[in-house]
Structure 1
Amino acid sequence: MFPLQGPQALQMLEKSLRKSLPESLKEMRDDLDNFTNTYQIYSKEPKSCHEFLGTSDVINWKQHLQIQSSQSSLEEVIQSLAAANLSKVKKTQRLLYMMPKTAQRLLPFLVTTKTSCGNSGRPKAINQELFKLALLDVSHAALVDQFWAFGGNERSQRFIKRCIQTFPSTCVVGPEGTPVSWALMDQTGEIRMGGTVPKYRAQGLSSYVLYIQGWALETLGFPAYNNTSSSNKIVQKMCETLQHLPVPCDWNQWNCEPL
């Protein structure tokens, strides 16, 4: 490591770093695709990050985009920046859960004696003659999108296809030969877009799939966590049964659209 001196050296560094941008940023070419145009923000000093975000080209406010953060304290900063850049904002705030083994590694203060028991938190067994464990295929994207609260359009379906192609997923195939329950990982590493078709609900399939997906991610070394709406008591009960730990912070998402 060596200190950079003078504006010319800084410009050379910026040029070099831009050549190494991750592919996720290079894909942000569709101005209407807020699923791909996603930013994750964390700041040790949320109030002071206003200047950095406001005076740089970090965020392209000309696009439809979303900002995700575990810090609800960014609300004032994001609202102010959006207003300054003539963008309207819709905020979504949800509960955040972390699976026990992940919490033991990353947030050990959350773990109690009860949640650290070896065989605790396992779901009920499913009927393996009727239901078969499998992986999602891109042909299943439309089905997943149909039951995703944030989906329902061509771009969300395209985003789901990319997630299926790129990241681990889990599903249970029913007697008809199609997925009846599923969970997959998005670009943030979170377990999202889970769902079960109405015909097969209340049979423990969602719990089973979420458990298997979480176990698979932890085996690969990924942190396993998920979010749910504060009004979704069914998923909250399921997380409690699986001994997922509620994280003190919230899951926050700001959807921004230029006026």
Structure 2
Amino acid sequence: MFHLQGPQLLQMLEKSLRKSLPESLKEMADDFDHYTNTYQIYSKDLNNCQESLTTLDVINWKQRLQIQSSQSSLNEVIQSLAAAKFAKVEHTQCILYVMPETARKLLPSLPETKNLPVGYGPPKAINQEMFKLSSMDPTHAALVNKFWHFGGNKRSQRFIERCIQAFPTFCLLGPEGTPASWSLMDQTGEIRMGATVPKYRGHGLISHILAVHTQALDQLGIPVYNHTDKANKIVQKISHNLHHIAIPHGWNQWNCEPL
């Protein structure tokens, strides 16, 4: 280790470090893009967590952002930090599901994992003459944006395009040659955007595509999980049928906006 002296050496160091930043941090340049400005937090020591987040300026509170965690106990810490940074916070709690193979590997202590079927069952049968398995294309982002509950704007469409370009995606193309049902991941590794166009609902397409997506990710060694609103009974029923396991403390998100 050596001490840097003079502004020129410091500028060289800064330039070098910026080249090594994860792409996710380089993309957090739009102060109003809360889709990309996302933080995930887990801490065994809430006091230490608050001190670290306060002193190290890990979070850019000048942006619209979201914080995600499986720990609802972080609420007091985040609310306190946001108040100190003059930010408005909205806390949402949802059901967090982990897929069977991921649960068996990473959460063997959960009682629910003891009764899981071994291996993968076949995806729900569909009309394979009518629907063809494919991957998503960035040009499909507008369609996904239209049906995503949290989308419907330019920033969400740009976010969806990036997710399609960066992560494994699956869809079923309908007779028109466009996606009838799809499953996408976001930058946190979660299966986040899945839907079926109204015309083809009731054919079991989303159950089929989720099973295919889950198996593909597991074979790549990627933990598979997703969350859903407590009022979304349809997704809960699909998750139950696919033997997804609900994690006890659920999924928490804090949407933060500077005042």
- For normalisation by structure 2, the TM-score amounts to 0.91
Matched with 1:117 is 118
Residues 146-184 of structure 1 deviation map (CA, whole Å, 9 limit, x = unaligned): 111211111111000000000000101111111011011
What is the CA-CA distance between 1:119 and the residue it aligns to? 5.0
Number of equivalent positions: 252
> Partner of 1:212 in structure 2?
212
Q: CA deviation at 1:92?
A: 1.7
* Alignment-derived partner of residue 254 in structure 1: 254
TM-score by length of 1: 0.91
Deviations 1:109-161 (A, max 9, x none): 234443133454x4420000011111010011011111112111111110000
In 2: Cα distance, 1:19 partner to 1:118 partner: 42
Q: 1:49 to 1:192 in 2, by over 3 A?
A: same
What is residue 154 of structure 1 aligned with on the other side?
154
SS in 1 for 2:221: coil
Q: 1:88 aligns to what?
A: 88
Deviations 1:59-95 (Å, cap 9, x if unpaired)? 1111111111111111011111111111111122110
| CA distance in 1: counterparts of 2:233 and 2:213, whole angstroms | 21
2:59 is aligned to 59
After alignment, is 144-153 or 214-223 more displaced? 144-153
Q: Secondary structure at the match of 2:109?
A: helix
Match of 1:127 in 2: 127
Could you tell me how far 1:6 is from its partner in structure 2?
A: 9.5
Query: Gaps (5+ residues) in structure 1?
Result: none
**Contact 1:65-1:256 within 8 A present in 2 as well:** yes
Contact 1:33 1:155 in 2 (8 A): yes
Q: Is the contact made by 2:99 and 2:224 (CA closer than 8 Å) also made in structure 1?
A: yes
Q: 2:180 is paired with a residue of what secondary structure?
A: strand
RMSD: 2.1
SS in 2 for 1:109: coil
Which 10-residue stretch deviates more, 47-56 or 73-82?
Answer: 47-56
Give the structure 1 partner of residue 242 of structure 2.
242
Contact 1:170/1:182, CA 8 A, preserved across alignment: yes
Which residue in 2 is equivalent to 1:108?
108
CA deviation map 1:191-227 (0-9, x unaligned): 1111111111111101001111111100111011111
Q: Separation in 2 of the partners of 1:118 and 1:40?
A: 30
Q: Deviations over 1:211-244 (max 9, x none)?
A: 1111110011101111111111111111111111
What percentage of aligned pairs have identical amino acids?
65
Q: What does residue range 29-40 of structure 1 map to in structure 2 within 5 Å? A: 29-40=29-40
What is the rounded CA distance, in whole Å, between the counterparts of 1:92 and 1:181 in structure 2?
A: 27
Mapped to 1, the partners of 2:230 and 2:86 lie a distance apart of 30
The match for 2:173 is 173
Assess if the C-alpha contact under 8 Å between 2:96 and 2:226 holds in 1: yes
Contact kept? 1:171, 1:180, Cα under 8 Å: yes
Runs of 4+ in 1 over 6 A off after TM superposition: 4-8
Q: CA deviation at 1:17?
A: 5.5
Q: Is the contact made by 1:131 and 1:174 (CA closer than 8 Å) also made in structure 2?
A: yes
Supply the distance in 1 between the matched residues of 2:43 and 2:4 (Cα, whole angstroms).
26
